[in-house]
Amino acid sequence: MTLLDNDGVRLAVDEAATTATVTLTNPAKRNAQSPALWRALAEAGRVLPGTVRVVVVRGEGKSFSAGLDRQAFTPEGFDGEPSFLDLARGSDSGLDAAIAEYQEAFTWWRRNDIVSIAAVQGHAIGAGFQLALACDLRVCAEDAQFAMRETSLGLVPDLAGTTPLLSLVGYARALEICATGRFVHAEEAERTGLANLVVPAADLDAAVADLAAALLAAPRDAVIETKALLRDAAGRPYDTQRAAERAAQGRRLRDLAGLSD
């Protein structure tokens, strides 16, 4: 069932309403991104049914997403949108608010009540790379190529991608990838932990479906509690994390015993 289909984004859920697929639908432009697309991605998160447990994001055509549509940097920008040049000429608060709105498209994928998977083929550049990083897991075709090209444009990665990149590959490699803008191919992505799995392009959809099925096999509340523990572990002292584990396990045991509220 399709719940949303506009501005280059389609959201559909399966018959059981446990798996949702978000598809970027502008293959002619290699799924280049725009503010309108970002608003549609944010809306997809807002209208996602509460029964959904796994969300897959994919791109139509040969590329996952080639990143920001360069039209954003032209004086005319996009129809009905302020150009990035216009935003730069505005107030600090207005610029900050605009970027904060863009970031909303990249923040909901790590909610504790879902597990998100990026199915990446071809290019995942700039904003495309950051969309893949927004997800919990990444399954890549053998032709996948990641690149953070913002610095080559005189910019920085600002779509919430720096934290997950750092946690996945470490500071030195994250800095080198971002500062040079070089391509990270699928083999390196898997070796360094950026990709969970690399498969032939023809097997990408099947591999994602198998992973989604495996994620759905465990009880939902156990997955939610585990994800919350893992997400917060790096920022907690060891003893605080141990206490969080005890509290989470207590909730699970009471639930299994039929004693939860």
Q: What is the pLDDT of residue 127?
A: 98
Per residue of the chain (261 residues), give pLDDT as tens.
999 999 999 999 999 999 999 999 999 999 999 999 999 999 999 999 999 999 999 999 999 999 999 888 888 888 888 888 888 999 999 999 999 999 999 999 999 999 999 999 999 999 999 999 999 999 999 999 999 999 998 999 999 999 999 999 999 999 999 999 999 999 999 999 999 999 999 999 999 999 999 999 999 999 999 999 999 999 999 999 999 999 999 999 999 999 876
Nearest 5°: phi and psi at 155? Answer: -120, -175
Tally of domains in the chain: 2
If 0-12 CB within 10 Å is exposed, 13-18 middle and 19+ buried, where does residue 159 land? buried
Q: Tell me what percent of the chain is helix, strand and coil, each rounded to the nearest 5.
A: 50, 20, 30
Could you tell me if 163 and 226 lie in one domain?
no
- Predicted model pTM: 0.96
Could you tell me if 153 and 83 lie in one domain?
yes
Would you say 220 and 62 are in contact if contact means Cβ atoms under 8 Å apart? Answer: no
Q: Flag whether 141 is in a domain.
A: yes
Could you tell me if 228 and 112 lie in one domain?
no
Residue 252: give the domain boundaries.
220-256
Could you tell me if 165 and 252 lie in one domain?
no
Question: Structure tokens of 26?
Answer: 């502008």
Could you tell me if 194 and 249 lie in one domain?
no
- Residues 6 or more apart from 194 whose CB is under 8 A from it? 138, 146, 165, 168, 169, 184, 188
Could you tell me if 144 and 162 lie in one domain?
yes
Could you tell me if 155 and 228 lie in one domain?
no
Consecutive H or E run containing 139: strand 137-141
Could you tell me if 72 and 123 lie in one domain?
yes
If 0-12 CB within 10 Å is exposed, 13-18 middle and 19+ buried, where does residue 92 land? exposed
Q: What is the pLDDT of residue 126?
A: 97
Q: How far apart are CA 165 and CA 59, in angstroms?
A: 21
Question: Structure tokens of 212?
Answer: 């989604």
- Residues 6 or more apart from 135 whose CB is under 8 A from it? 57, 109, 110, 116, 117, 118
Give the CATH number, domain containing residue 108: 3.90.226.10
- Residues 6 or more apart from 255 whose CB is under 8 A from it? 221
Could you tell me if 120 and 35 lie in one domain?
yes
Count of residues in the chain: 261
CA distances to 9, 16, 133, 206 from 107, in Å: 16, 25, 10, 26
Would you say 124 and 62 are in contact if contact means Cβ atoms under 8 Å apart? Answer: no
Q: Which residue has tokens 């991608």?
A: 161
Tell which residue, 124, 188, 123, 119, has the closest CA to residue 159: 124
